Amino acid sequence: MFGFVSHRSACEALRLLDGNEPRWPEQSRQLPHKEGLILSQRDFARWERQVDLAAHGIVSRPVDLLVFSKDQRRRGKRAHFHVWGGPVPAGSMVRLGEYLLVSGPELVIVQHAGYQLKSQPLVKRFTRDLHAERDAMAFAGLDPHDAAFDHPWHWERTVRIVRLAMLVCEFCGTYRLAVGEGTPRYRVAPLTSKERIGQVLSQLDGVFGERRVREALRLGFEGSASPMETALVMMLTLPVEWGGFGLPRPLMNHAVNVRGLPYVPVSMEQVTPDLLWEDRGQGRDVVLEYDSDEFHGVGDDVTAAAQSRKAGEDAVRSNVLALKGCLCLRATTEAMRSVGGVELLARQVAFGLGEKLREPSKVEALRRRRLFAILTGREAEEAGKL
């Protein structure tokens, strides 16, 4: 019996992969209609005994599975069946075993873009947040009628694209978020590229959510090395009306050739700054390095010696870039703890680029706080403040 795992469940499995696993199908085709396909909760229970899902990172329930037609759609505590009646593009699924296939990173992004919005939870959350913000303003001695509020549908559409862009950054980057009780992974190969996602999307011919995927591809980045690098670059570059600072887009972890320069070690051929804005008429490149408390720079070795060695490497890299004529700025974990910290950093980057930040409106300032909470994983904390 075959299981075609999709959506959130496939995302969990992908976070444990190296990217070298075999792809399916060899040529574009539709899903099997019935032969050996899981079509009921009972089928799923039998299949689950046959396939060790947890070993592949699939730990959340219900498990998302694909079926061919609407009459096969089912919802249950153990499995949730989604309809995929169109073609499965060549190589868009990953085979993890004889009876287990999962949607590849390109397909997962398309699937996440296709979720339908439900109005009732949106309205309830909007009402809750508005009352909470008014209560907080009254407690602070401010006029609660001055509370900013955003249209729930508008903000939810923005959030969906932001989350898709975050997924693009992860799958096109060199890190993976934690699965279950595991830990994040760093220094891993990208699972896909923005070009490959676009190729798969073009084969689906008008699939629901296509617009969102294309917008996420426009806003997302390749080369991010950690979740906080993703949060930082998106806060800096997303439009002001979305809650960002509207700065130009940099290159992420882009190799800069320094071979043969007199002030670099003989063994050094290139350096890779975290964020690089190439010369925009200022006569210099601008570099932003993120000094993280995460240990993605030293792998699993978190000893004092490893951290000291990494700090030394970072210092050499910054010095080389500075001598090469770059304006080198640094971002710390402390700066990423608050919107105010990121704003100061954005002003410094803007000054280095010769840009001027636009001041946000009251609603845009509200969106900025909410965007920061989403990108940095502080949504529950922010909800408690409102």
Q: Where are the domains of the chain?
A: 3-103, 105-244+358-386, 247-357
288 pairs with which residues across the strands? 275, 329
Q: Spell out the residues 6+ positions from residue 337 whose beta carbon is closer than 8 angstroms to its own.
A: none
Nearest to 5 by CA among 24, 28, 20, 18: 24
Q: How far apart are CA 175 and CA 303, in angstroms?
A: 21
327-332 long-range Cβ contacts below 8 angstroms, 24+ apart: 327/284, 327/285, 327/286, 327/287, 327/352, 328/273, 328/287, 328/289, 329/286, 329/287, 329/288, 329/289, 330/288, 330/289, 330/290, 330/291, 331/232, 331/288, 331/289, 331/290, 331/291, 332/290, 332/291
Report how far Cα 44 is from the mean position of its chain's Cα atoms: 30
Q: Give the model's pLDDT for residue 145.
A: 66
Is the bond leading into 25 cis (omega within 30 degrees of zero)?
Answer: yes
H/E stretch holding 63: strand 63-67
Whole-angstrom distance, CA of residue 374 vs CA of residue 351: 26
The two tokens of residue 77 are: 């505590």
From the CB of residue 78, how many other CB atoms can be counted at a distance below 10 Å?
12
User: What is the tens place of the pLDDT at every residue in 56-78?
Assistant: 999 999 999 999 877 777 788 89
243: part of which helix (H) or strand (E)?
Answer: none
Check if the beta carbon of residue 358 is closer than 8 Å to that of residue 240.
Answer: yes
Which is nearest to 220 in space by CA: 197, 188, 254? 197
| Residue 208 identity (one-letter amino acid) | F
- In the block, residue with structure tokens 């299949």: 47
Over the stretch 324-366, which tens digit does the pLDDT of each residue have? Answer: 999 999 999 999 999 999 999 999 999 999 999 999 998 899 8
Amino acid at 114: G
pLDDT-flagged residues of the chain (< 50): 295-299, 380-386
Which of left, alpha, beta for 283 (phi over 0: left; psi -120 to 50: alpha)? left
Which residue reads 């060549």 in tokens? 90
Residue 193, C-beta contacts closer than 8 angstroms, at least 6 positions apart: 172, 222
pLDDT at 119: 60
Closest C-alpha to 205, from 322, 374, 31, 89: 89
Neighbours of 89 (CB within 10 A): 21
Residue 140 tokens read as: 């602070």
